[in-house]
Every structure is written in C-alpha cells, then in structure tokens.
Amino acid sequence: MKQIRTKWIIGAAIGISLIGAGCGSSDKKDDPAFPLPEPVDLEVLEPVERTAHVNFIPGSVIQIESAFTGFKDKIDLNQNTDAKTILVVDRFAPLHVANFTWTLLVNSKDAKGEATTQQLTANVLGANLNDSPRLWLPVFWPEEEKASARGTSGIWISRDRFEGLHRNRISTIDTSLLDPDSYGALGEDPNVHILFERLASEAKRVSTRVDVNLSKGEKDLVRIPMLINGKTLDIEVLKVTNWFGEFLILDNPQNPLVLSFSFQDKNESGVPRFKGADLFKKLVDYRVTALKDIVS
C-alpha cells in the first residue's frame, strides 16, 4: 500500500468548508451524463419517513467527530485539540459494498499563535455491507491509499446484523477491538499496545459468563437530532449495547450507519474496567455530527 504523508495547512475553517462544499465528491456527481434524482425535502417528512430517506450516493458526505485526533506517527492520548473526520462516499451499493475517502483535520495553533490545520487523506475499499459481523472504528483506518476494509463493514452494520436486531432486538456485533490486526500501525504504539492487552485480559476474564459480542437493542426506537443537508432534523435510531459499549444505529435497512460508538470504560459499580480505560475510551469513541448531499 502507498503510505500517505500528512500536510500542514493554514486556516482553521477547512473542516467547515469541506462539509459545506461536499468535499471530494465523485466526478459523476457533477457530470450531466449521470443526472441525480431530485432530493426529497426531508424537512416535511415525519421522522420515521425521513429516516428511510437518509440514503447515500457517490459524493455523499459524513462528518465524524472523535475525542482522539492524533496521527499514527504522533500519538498523544492526553491531547485536547479540535478535529473532525470528513468521509466522502465513493461507492455505495446498499446491502453489498461501500468505498469511501476520509480526511482527518486537526485544528491547532503554531508557535506564533496562527491557526493551523493538519490534514491527512486516505481511502478504504470494499466494506462488506452484506454479512460481515465486524465493524472497523475510524481511529484504526490506515493512512494508506486503497486500503482494504479487511472484511469488515466499516462504520455500517451489515444486512444480516441489522435484520437480527430488527427481528428480535438481538444480534452479534464485533467491534474488532480484540483483533490486534485491526489496530494496524496504531497498535505498534507502546501505550496503545498496553491498553489493548489490558482490554483483552479483561474480556478474557469475563468470557466465561459474558458473550462480549452479544448485542441487544432497546425495544423502542430513539429519536435524535442530526444536521442533514444543512438542517437539524430528528431521525430514528436503534440504541444497541454489548459488553464493549453503546451504538446508535440509523434505523434504515438500506443504510444502517453506526452514528456513534461509546466505549463502556466502567463496570456496574462505577469502577474503571482496567487501568487506562478512560484513555482507551478517548481513543475509540466517535459520533457522526452531520450528513450532506443525501439524495433519495
């Protein structure tokens, strides 16, 4: 794989301009030979109908925020910077496959106090939206061109996982957090490696009485606000939990996007699961904050 080099770019507003402009859209998006369908006015729909219309085409944009914003060659688990990931859908075949390009933007200030944005762009190919049991959290995506999704469903759950949750609110969702290979270059950092070993040890300790991947959804759907095509609108999600944490999943069989993942860093008594569990939470948590160029 070809390694991507990070760049420093002046201007802290890059992230806003990208989500506003639909950065990195497919060439077909502006090609008159491939006319797009007229967008549905999502604002006039009820939340249940609106949720069903939140589907993707090449050029659709997903904005992701996470607590951990470091680059794999400069890891600081205690950092506190402003960052976001802009994901642009390159290919989306519902229930089958997705390819996407992602750009990580970290806003900070240089030694002179001037606004500076560190930017990295890479892409992932072949997310299995059909029958993969495994997610791949954004923090672990490789800084490479044409990186394989490794058989995972990326930040969607696959068709069969979604059907299980809808049928009886039970399925299995593997976060890949116990797979050292899913960490890639990030797992080579000694601090991340130590946290992984502690997580794996705790999961092994409870494995005799807990299926860590067994995922249960709440009976009733939950409504949450989401910025969609520039407007804040309510959509419906499945709230799902397993031993690892909580997921909010878009209640749309054509587009079961995992809108957030929150690692459970404490046990029922409020005690940290392992030393550094709070840092591990900061490493893996994410949430989708905006969707753009949604055309149904």
**For 147-192, how does the pLDDT look when each residue is reduced to its tens digit (9 = 90+)?**
999 999 999 999 999 999 999 999 999 999 999 999 998 899 899 9
Nearest-CA neighbor of 283 among 192, 199, 203, 213? 192
What value does the mean pLDDT of the chain take?
A: 86
Tell me: pLDDT of 139 over 80: yes
What is the bridge-based pairing of β-strands 258-263 and 231-241? unpaired
Tell me: pLDDT of 21 over 60: no
Tokens of 241: 């939990």
CA 2 from chain center: how many Å?
A: 23
Rounded to whole angstroms, how far apart are CA atoms 261 and 139?
A: 12
Instruction: Check residues 21 and 222 and name the one with the higher pLDDT.
Output: 222
Do residues 91 and 123 lie in contact, with contact meaning Cβ atoms separated by under 8 Å? no
pLDDT tens sequence across 188-216: 989 999 999 999 999 999 999 999 999 99
Tell me: pLDDT of 33 over 70: no
Nearest-CA neighbor of 141 among 130, 152, 132, 129? 152
Write down the pLDDT at residue 214.
97
Nearest-CA neighbor of 193 among 272, 280, 274? 280
Cβ atoms within 10 Å of 36's Cβ, excluding its own = 14
Q: What's the whole-model pTM score?
A: 0.86
Specify the long-range contacts of residues 275-278, CB closer than 8 Å, at least 24 apart: 275/198, 276/194, 276/195, 276/198, 277/198, 277/199
Tell me: pLDDT of 54 over 80: yes
Q: What is the mean pLDDT of residues 246-275?
A: 96
CA 87 from chain center: how many Å?
A: 9
Write down the pLDDT at residue 259.
98
Nearest-CA neighbor of 258 among 229, 206, 293, 217? 217
Q: What is the mean pLDDT of residues 267-283?
A: 93
Nearest-CA neighbor of 143 among 267, 39, 3? 3
Of the chain, the end-to-end C-alpha distance in Å amounts to 35
Tell me: pLDDT of 133 over 90: yes
Rounded to whole angstroms, how far apart are CA atoms 279 and 77?
A: 6
Per-residue pLDDT band for 118 (boundaries 50, 70, 90) equals: confident
Do residues 274 and 263 lie in contact, with contact meaning Cβ atoms separated by under 8 Å? no
